[in-house]
Amino acid sequence: MKTVVTDKDLAEIREEDVDVLKVMAHPVRLQIVSELMHHKMCNVTQLTEILKLPQSTVSQHLSKLRRTVLRAERKGLEMHYYIDNAKARQIVGILSS
């Protein structure tokens, strides 16, 4: 049985992909996603140490990534971030190879 994909379906898929590309179109955000692929889950303090960037900078970028690429999980007083987007993983994987 053939599956019919309409123009509307393609437009929706592309819009989601565009949103991921937009949010990841910054070197620091790409670095954050890359580090989270390697470390699986990190808090802001860990990411600031890894990236050697100010906490405010890392927090700002995490906030933007959290809308489309990352999720956060509270562990005590800290928020731990992890990747929750297969497309983001693919993008970083392609760029890393």
Q: What is the pLDDT of residues 2-55, one digit of tens each?
A: 666 666 666 666 788 889 989 999 999 999 999 999 999 999 999 999 999 999
pLDDT value of residue 4: 64
Residue 87 belongs to a domain: yes
* Gap between the Cα atoms of 81 and 62, Å rounded: 8
- Work out how many domains the chain is built from and give that number: 1
pLDDT value of residue 7: 67
Residue 2 belongs to a domain: no
* Gap between the Cα atoms of 85 and 32, Å rounded: 14
| Domain interval for residue 76 | 7-96
**Mean per-residue pLDDT, 61-78:** 94
pLDDT value of residue 97: 78
22 touches 93 (CB < 8 A) = no
Residue 1 belongs to a domain: no
SS3 97: coil
Q: Is 1 a residue whose pLDDT tops 60?
A: no
In the DSSP assignment, the letter for residue 3 is P
Residue 30 belongs to a domain: yes
